């Protein structure tokens, strides 16, 4: 029998070399934004993709293209929902805003954000704002840069700034924003989000000094919002928005870089079976709130089914689940901000058929008196929020100073 000899020649395999760019260079690359002169035709151009075609909502009333899906800019450019007329200025603003959110999505998913988390930030003393994290500051700069480049924004009011930033005298819009909500969760890869609201500029204030008109434009009631939404950075990046006629969600298609319509005209269930709150604070709650939670989780409320608790401690993530499944998401103490968290999310929820409350009154009717004004917030299904309000004493006044 013929024998064979197998000779092995060892081949050294070198480990891959990691090309670690300086953190500053990585962060700087996130600031690039489209120029202000872009038009609808430029925004509509995109590469052909099939990755979302089976999931995306087909073009019925929003366009006549035959590529099988509708992008955020297509949707806004074609009216943004039945009974809505979206002007060119708002379409351009949305284009630049979604560009900023794509940059933030890249930032929070980057392996370099852990380095950002180790940097220190000097927070302003005496401010009502939370101590900013480095990722908050970078995200804020990304949004501000995009809004400047849009040429459509007069003033931006942000959680990361003590006072509003005046951008352009003739900008038609006012933008309020929480650039990166839940940033403390980044290290644990828990979902985060961006929250925004868009108002018309109050032209009757144009004669006032810049600082005064910037503040007054930012302190409009929520019932004057033109558009609002959030962007969820999670297993998918989802841009959920209302333009004043329904609530719609768009999922980022990474193969094209486009937000594609995947949830058209979202309707929150009139009643859910989930409550979302940090019930480790149970013994600091008022009697009414404790009684409500005890009742619904035993199935003894208006809904005979027992409720379950689902709590991520990320406002955008908890609200997104509530929007899809129903129930109520809440923070019963004076913690969340009316201007750039409460109002935009309340408008979005109500456009989806839900209800918002501070425990006693509707959020959108409250007149803000300062930029970083805090309040309790209850958002969700109409029947759930109404039942909760019926317990009257649901606002937490005890605040021992939680560190987590």
Q: Which residues are catalytic?
A: 130, 136, 159-160, 178, 180-181, 341
CA-nearest of 228, 260, 231, 199 to 73 is 260
- What is the Cα Rg of the chain in Å? 23
Separation of alpha carbons 182 and 186, rounded Å: 8
Which residues make Cβ contacts (< 8 Å) with residue 1, sequence separation at least 6? none
Cα dihedral 107/55/53/105 (nearest 10): 0
Nearest to 105 by CA among 47, 30, 32, 175: 30
Distances (CA, A) of 51 to 99, 327, 365: 20, 32, 42
101 vs 180: CA distance, rounded Å:
10
**DSSP helix/strand/coil, 156:** strand
Neighbours of 309 (CB within 10 A): 13
Q: How many Å apart are CA 189 and CA 181, to the nearest integer?
A: 13
Burial of 236 (0-12, 13-18, 19+ CB in 10 A): middle
DSSP calls for 23-85: HHHHHHHTT----TT--HHHHH------TTTTTSPP-SSS---SSS--BHHHHHHTTSSTT--
CA quadruple 114, 116, 121, 123: dihedral sign: negative
């Amino acid at each position: 029998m013929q024998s064979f000899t197998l000779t092995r020649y060892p081949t050294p395999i070198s480990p891959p070399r990691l090309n670690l760019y300086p953190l500053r260079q990585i962060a700087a690359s996130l600031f690039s934004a489209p120029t202000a002169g872009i038009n609808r035709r430029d925004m509509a151009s995109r590469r052909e993709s099939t990755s979302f075609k089976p999931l995306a909502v087909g073009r019925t009333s929003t366009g006549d293209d035959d590529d099988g899906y509708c992008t955020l800019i297509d949707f806004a450019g074609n009216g943004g929902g039945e009974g809505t007329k979206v002007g060119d200025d708002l379409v351009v603003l949305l284009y630049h805003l979604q560009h900023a959110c794509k940059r933030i999505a890249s930032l929070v998913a980057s392996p370099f954000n852990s380095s950002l988390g180790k940097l220190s930030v000097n927070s302003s003393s005496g401010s009502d704002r939370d101590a900013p994290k480095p990722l908050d500051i970078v995200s804020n700069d990304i949004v501000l840069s995009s809004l400047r480049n849009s040429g459509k924004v007069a003033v931006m009011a942000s959680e990361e700034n003590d006072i509003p930033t005046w951008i352009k005298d003739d900008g038609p819009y006012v933008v309020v924003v929480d650039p990166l909500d839940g940033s403390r969760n980044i290290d644990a890869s828990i979902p985060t989000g961006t929250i925004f609201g868009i108002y018309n500029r109050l032209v009757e204030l144009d004669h006032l000094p810049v600082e005064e008109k910037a503040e007054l434009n930012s302190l409009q009631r929520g019932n004057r919002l033109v558009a609002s939404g959030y962007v969820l950075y999670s297993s998918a990046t989802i841009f959920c928005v209302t333009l004043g006629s329904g609530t719609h969600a768009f999922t980022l298609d990474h193969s094209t870089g486009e937000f594609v319509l995947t949830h058209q005209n979202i309707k929150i269930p009139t009643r859910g079976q989930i409550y979302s709150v940090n019930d480790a604070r149970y013994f600091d709650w008022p009697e009414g709130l404790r009684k409500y939670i005890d009742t619904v989780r035993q199935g003894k409320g208006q809904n005979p089914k027992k409720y379950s608790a689902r709590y991520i401690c990320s406002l955008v993530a908890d609200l997104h689940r509530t929007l899809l499944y129903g129930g109520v998401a809440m923070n019963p103490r004076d913690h969340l901000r009316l201007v750039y968290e409460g109002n935009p999310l309340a408008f979005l929820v109500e456009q989806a058929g839900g209800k918002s409350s501070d425990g006693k009154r509707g959020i959108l009717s409250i007149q803000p008196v300062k930029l970083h004004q805090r309040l309790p917030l209850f958002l969700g299904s109409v029947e759930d929020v109404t039942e909760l309000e019926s317990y009257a004493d649901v606002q937490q006044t005890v605040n021992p100073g939680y560190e987590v």
